Amino acid sequence: MTQTLKTKVLIIGAGTGGYVAGIRCGQLGLDTVLVDGGDGLGGTCLNVGCIPSKAIIHAAGKFETVTKAAGGGTLGITAAAPAIDLSQTVEWKDGIVRKLNAGVAALLKKAKVKVIKGWAEFADAKTCVVKTDEGDIRITAEHVILATGSEPVELPFLPFGGDVISSTEALSLSEVPKKLVVVGGGYIGLELGIAYRKLGAEVAIVEMADRILPLYDKALTDPVAKWLEKHGVELHLGARAGGFGDGKLSITTKDGEPLQLDADKVLVTVGRRPRTQGWGLENMGVAMAGPFVKIDQRCATSMKNVWAVGDLTGEPMLAHKGSAQGEVVAEIIAGHDRIFDPVTIAAVCFTEPEIVSAGLGPNEVAGRDDVIQSVFPFAAIGRALAIEAGEDGGFLRVIANKGDHRILGIQAVGQHVSELSNSFAQMLEMGAVLEDVAGTIHVHPTLGEAFHEASLRALGHAIHI
């Protein structure tokens, strides 16, 4: 027998967009049902993406530090050669995920959000049937928030399975592969490829573009390329992957030559696509924008009282974008006057070194004579040198209008620069000018001093260069 349920708000997807929307709806007193049919509470980010990958990256960094200490010493510290039991590392990572899952569940319960574990399928825009272990539940809602997220793109000639893995499987391997080939030189492939290189794997990267991280300007990615070269990561740029069999991946090089790469595991990270299949989107009558659900500034779809947030709505596919959209939609449903119109959504690559970009980059302002670009090297920052973060070619760049000095973009590459990303976004969101940054006393010694110095340099009077 099918159970029936009516609610004010129905949210499909429990990722960073969906669960945040649910909590905010609950805070605003809206009767809310959240259907979790994917990776679990927290979605891709918490379970098989952002959080677990950063945990593995952190562990890899620790392992690399001890390896350096064993290989002749570092900072006067010596140690015995380290060993790693990756299954224990993965169990530690899983423990973090379980703790965060429980935290999200507690927050939803506190907000009085009803969570249903199961897979939803829509018959029309406001009605779906959720298949659960206890039977089917038919839900009708006044408002529907679609937050189904995204999934890894699978190549037809390299289907996932066995030793061909996605980022999900790469975060739960029981041992470090001797030889890992990464297909795709974007941020996901590089983050995981670098982590496994630190853990001792021989790593090769196959990328169709002529350089790694092609969405970022070359100056930002050069320090990462230098790290890869220094640490023996094999780069095949302008190359195309083919089939995999008998422990060998076939590729075609930039020159059109066939080549076989030995691989114990092939990690395919050629992008992500919105999760639009299998839950009845085609029955909802919403307009599309290419592969994505089309929304306006209110995150409203073409169907009245149907909303969409997160990866389903297009680039950038970032967790913090989905969360911000989820809050906006909840407040609109509650009667608040809101739109989703950020000045910037900062993006971070947790590579070695890390990359941050917020606002306009040099490629977007190329040829313009009405902008100032100012770069300050981390090698001139005391804190960077004291934590071995200043000699990898890292720098911080500020781009501003020449006339009124309004800041248009901020980028940085260097160790630990991800922690500067919120400062960058805040300055852009507040419409700061160079003088605002220059007039703010920055704490010494910190990496953030580079932001201060780059702004001073743009004004013509940097102190430490």
Residues labelled as active-site residues: 444
Tell me the backbone φ, ψ of residue 333, rounded to 5 degrees. -60, -35
Written as one letter, the residue type at 245 is G
Are 268 and 164 contacting, i.e. CB atoms less than 8 angstroms apart? yes
**What per-residue string of b and e applies to 353-367 under the rule 16 or more CB within 10 Å gives b?**
bbbbbbbbbbeebee
Q: What is the 3-state secondary structure (H, E, C) of the chain?
A: CCEEEEEEEEEECCCCCHHHHHHHHHHCCCCEEEEECCCCCCHHHHHHCHHHHHHHHHHHHHHHHHHHHHCCCECCECCCCCCCCHHHHHHHHHHHHHHHHHHHHHHHHHCCCEEEECEEEEEECCEEEEEECCEEEEEEEEEEEECCCEEECCECCECCECCEECHHHHCCCCCCCCEEEEECCCHHHHHHHHHHHHCCCEEEEEECCCCCCCCCCHHHHHHHHHHHHHCCCEEEECCEEEEEECCEEEEECCCCCEEEEECCEEEECCCEEECCCCCCHHHCCCCEECCEECCCCCCECCCCCEEECHHHHCCCCCHHHHHHHHHHHHHHHCCCCCCCCCCCCCEEECCCCEEEEEECCCCCCCCCCCEEEEEEEHHHCHHHHHCCCCCCCCEEEEEEECCCCEEEEEEEEECCHHHHHHHHHHHHHCCCEHHHHHCCCCCCCCCCHHHHHHHHHHCCCCCCC
Closest to 111 in 3D by CA, of 8, 43, 28: 28
For the beta carbon of residue 242, count every other beta carbon within 10 angstroms: 18
Are 306 and 144 contacting, i.e. CB atoms less than 8 angstroms apart? yes
Closest to 208 in 3D by CA, of 151, 274, 155, 159: 155
